Structure 1
Amino acid sequence: MLALLTACSGGAPARVDPVHYDAFFLWAGVKPPAVLAHAKTLYLLAGEVRRTGGFVSLRAVPKVKQAEVWMVVRVERLDWDEVTTARVLKELARWQAAGNRMAGPQIDFDSSAKGLADYAAFLKALRAQLPPGMKLSITGLMDWSANADPAALAGLKGVVDEVVVQSYQGRATIPGYAGYLAKLARVPVPHKVALVQGGEWREPAALKGDPLFRGYVVFLVNPK
């Protein structure tokens, strides 16, 4: 589905080069690189729901012609009031009205494995308020697959359309990622793996046999 970047057998892990991929995260403040010209899927940070307030927009409404677009909302709190929910949904409607081929919103929230059941309840309530035809994506942490209760993971099924699991922190790939991703098949909804541009990467063998694995998304960064 998406091009894979793997290391030569026995050698050091390769570095993630965006040219080999066609799905990307683009955060506010990151200069759009030329590689976006061949993007098929874009995850664009729209704004944040901050711990001490409601939704804050961080990007003008984009106009993307060639790619499917997910509107990403970075979330620091789940106790949304009606105003916050209404502002997020209004922003989603604005993006769609601008002619973008919208997939739906993506919620970027760092839920702990222990808090996953409460997070699933929040997502279920949000899903019920989405316009018809909109899907729901979330980012996920690698330790969900290893440490989350199976019942909590099952609570995501039928609520979210995909989980994009982050394999990096900052500009670096998290050490030991292969061990976590070996258990990714425990996540019972379609899932992708997010890689950071320039990070080390060797594809774990387990991903090739995972029936719900849907490929990679590259988190783009500005050159140093």
Structure 2
Amino acid sequence: MGAKAALLLVRVWALAALLLLAGCGRPATERVDPTDYDAFFLWAGVKPPKALAKAKTVYLLDGEVRANDNARLVPLRPGTPNGSKVSLWLTVRAERLDWQEGVYRRIFVDLARWDAAGNRLIGLQIDFDSNTRGLANYAAFLADLRRRLPARYRLSVTGLMDWSAQGDPAALGKLAGTVDEVVIQTYQGRHTIPGYESYMTSLARLPLPYRVALVEGGEWRAPKTLAADPEFKGYVVFLLPAQPPTASRN
């Protein structure tokens, strides 16, 4: 074996050893078990699981502003939460932002009703999938909402992972001056978005407090840098409705 070939072989062995060591030190991917967490999204039609008994924070879906109607909030929760001792956020799912005045009035009535029932109501959360290019317009909508919202309520929004990676710093700065937190979604439907790890490294660009939303049963490997970020405020688990049993085949 020539000297060059021997040197190449040594480099290959060294690289293989480094990769092996890196793999040994890499935290394992796990499935998200709600019993390991204390903050949850609870959507309409989802039966509260046992894990909710130890919840400290719950984002509770109240209603939707649908794409075909900007004049009303479609209620999705029968009745009013009754004196819950957890920290509650009233969540509104929005498919459009050009709301008519009746939508605002209904939301504020619901906030007051939930508050009067003795709940520990923190504030209002807007769940709207604003694309990254539309962040400036979304920030303007939220600034108007913040002016309308009674000062005793905080304002939260859900956000996409791409916001921190590709978002305009000026638009992100406007969000920071308006909302109290953003909850970054790492999933679509029932599954974790592939490649989420690369987005996690850019979360330090978010100039405001944030949580990371995980989907029940989804894959998750916590980045080591996340816990050290002073703006990271923890996780929220999106609880899923039970799937109907699969029909057996004869």
CA RMSD of aligned residues (A): 1.3
Aligned to 1:59: 77
Q: Is the 8 A contact 2:115 2:121 kept in 1?
A: yes
Aligned to 1:217: 236
Aligned to 2:210: 191
Shift of 1:222: 2.4
Cα distance in 2 for residues equivalent to 1:64 and 1:165: 28
Residues 131-153 of structure 1 show CA distances to partners (whole Å, capped at 9, x for unaligned) of 13100000000000111111110
Q: Is the 8 A contact 1:39 1:66 kept in 2?
A: no
Aligned to 1:146: 165
Q: Which amino acid aligns with 1:58?
A: L
Matched, 1:81 2:97: no
Match of 1:32 among 48, 56, 72: 48
Aligned to 1:3: none
Q: Which amino acid aligns with 1:84?
A: V
Q: Is the 8 A contact 1:172 1:196 kept in 2?
A: yes
Shift of 1:202: 0.4
**Bigger Rg, which one:** 2
| Farther-moved stretch of structure 1 (79-88 vs 195-204) | 79-88
Moved over 2 A (4+): 8-12
**Residues 142, 64 of structure 1: alpha-carbon distance in 2 compared, 3 angstrom cutoff:** farther
**Residues 64, 140 of structure 1: alpha-carbon distance in 2 compared, 3 angstrom cutoff:** farther
Q: Which amino acid aligns with 1:38?
A: K
Shift of 1:157: 1.2
Cα distance in 2 for residues equivalent to 1:40 and 1:179: 29
Q: Is the 8 A contact 2:190 2:216 kept in 1?
A: yes
Q: TM-score, normalised by structure 1?
A: 0.93
For residue 145 of structure 2, give the secondary structure of its aligned residue in structure 1: helix
Cα distance in 1 for residues equivalent to 2:242 and 2:107: 31
Q: Which runs of 5+ in 2 are unaligned?
A: 1-23, 244-250
Q: Which amino acid aligns with 1:56?
A: V
Q: Is the 8 A contact 2:58 2:87 kept in 1?
A: yes
Shift of 1:64: 4.5
Shift of 1:10: 4.3
Residues 175-200 of structure 1 show CA distances to partners (whole Å, capped at 9, x for unaligned) of 11111111011111100000001000
Q: Which has the higher contact order (CA 8 A, sep 6+)?
A: 1
For residue 177 of structure 2, give the secondary structure of its aligned residue in structure 1: coil
Q: Is the 8 A contact 1:72 1:106 kept in 2?
A: yes
| Farther-moved stretch of structure 1 (8-17 vs 192-201) | 8-17
Aligned length: 217
Cα distance in 2 for residues equivalent to 1:59 and 1:98: 15
